[in-house]
Chain A
């Protein structure tokens, strides 16, 4: 039986087309359809149920003085010492080979307290991995917020909607920052997976439905499914775990070297990752834009100008904003320069394309 989020019945009642994602029965699109939902998020505000994602908390300090800060600087290549409280970092969990176990958002909620949002499909694996890194005599505390929902409100009207629908003035909340309700029953982060301004709201399951309905009642808000979530993130060049990054790709190959903290040399997999950082990599994740009609999707072969096979798309699809097909994939580093001419093969047809800088369109997140 597929798993359900607490809002499953709400999606059904809205007439959503449901489909399987990471073991959950999730809304793929609603009445508007994927393209209009995508455009609605870019122009108004879209409401997403992302409660399938995992929320975990790690805090404390052990007897030897090893803190949660140090713990996160071990399981990820990032630096957390300098991260302000109530601010968030995007980072990755690395394995011993420097591959990516998952990508995640880490919010510092206290001096030695962190809240993470992890991918639905990686929850069990991540939790097992993280727990295994906590030594037995450690006093680090781990908690999994299994009964919490996560609702994303994304789009240029998100701030207005939060004010008008919930009476919350978040105009001063910076990008990648957290606002916590005083009773710790609601956490609002100004971030998302769409490139638009917006918020992710974490609440206990019991109040998720009321929150969803209050936000949805606002005239600027439409529900948006996972299909548009995918095309929105693709336009931003964001990675989808299991497709664009996985345990065989290093953060440097994936173009995520920016998550590596300068002072952090002790994290798991550092040997490989820092070697990639200092000596370069043989392949890189790049953005690819089709120059002709057609839609290239995951798996499509990438050829160089001479027709030599150089890789495959790890994700791809139609960009409603650009009106052409875009994708990402790994190519040998010598082909990774923006402007490099390539071909993408769709059903035996070679479609002219070029390597482009990501994001494909300008981000519209809070300055």
Chain B
């Protein structure tokens, strides 16, 4: 079972070496509803923690996807732009939106784990 990490803005992250796969949590997907469009960044773009990396749009609303850590975009999921259903796949499979090469791997420790995120959702609901 893959291990995921989460942000307060409902990004879901899977870490492989020094690369973070960034997608959105199930909670965020439920809140958005069916997606109609994803705006992806350029590969090579440097991002700062909390900065915009992508925008996911549903019929209802647009939501920014923020960088969970500082780093550089090393891949964007072009396939998802065509097959928006991929967003609901696990982040370590087709469900990632961008991959970020992490500048400082220790920053990943600040993210919530599964149990902490579940607790956080209870608080915000």
Contact = CB atoms under 8 A, between A and B. Distances in A.
A35 B62 CA distance: 14
B119 to A, nearest CB: 22
A347 B31 CA distance: 22
B39 interface: yes
Contact of B37 (A29, A36, A293, A320): A293
B37 A35 contact: no
B59 A317 contact: yes
Contacts of B57: 295, 318
Contacts of A295: 36-37, 57, 62
Given A33-B34, A35-B33, A347 B39 contact: yes
Contact of A294 (B33, B37, B58, B59): B37
Contacts of A202: none
A34 B37 contact: no
B122 interface: no
B37 to A, nearest CB: 5
Contact of B60 (A36, A227, A294, A325): A227
B112 interface: no
Interface in A304-335: 317-318, 320, 325
| Range class of the A interface residue count | 20 to 34
B24 to A, nearest CB: 15
A320 B60 CA distance: 11
A180 to B, nearest CB: 36
Interface in B21-35: 31, 33-34
Contacts of A33: 33-34
B55 interface: yes
B55 to A, nearest CB: 7
A229 to B, nearest CB: 11
Interface of B: 31, 33-34, 36-37, 39, 55, 57-60, 62
Interface of A: 17, 28-29, 33-36, 38, 227-228, 231, 293-295, 297, 317-318, 320, 325, 347, 349
Q: Which 8 A-B pairs have the closest CB atoms?
A: A35-B34, A33-B33, A34-B59, A295-B57, A318-B36, A227-B60, A34-B33, A34-B60
Given A34-B60, A227-B60, A295-B37, 20 more contacts: A33-B33, A33-B34, A34-B33, A34-B34, A34-B58, A35-B33, A35-B58, A36-B34, A38-B59, A227-B33, A227-B59, A228-B59, A295-B57, A297-B62, A317-B59, A318-B37, A318-B59, A320-B36, A325-B37, A347-B39
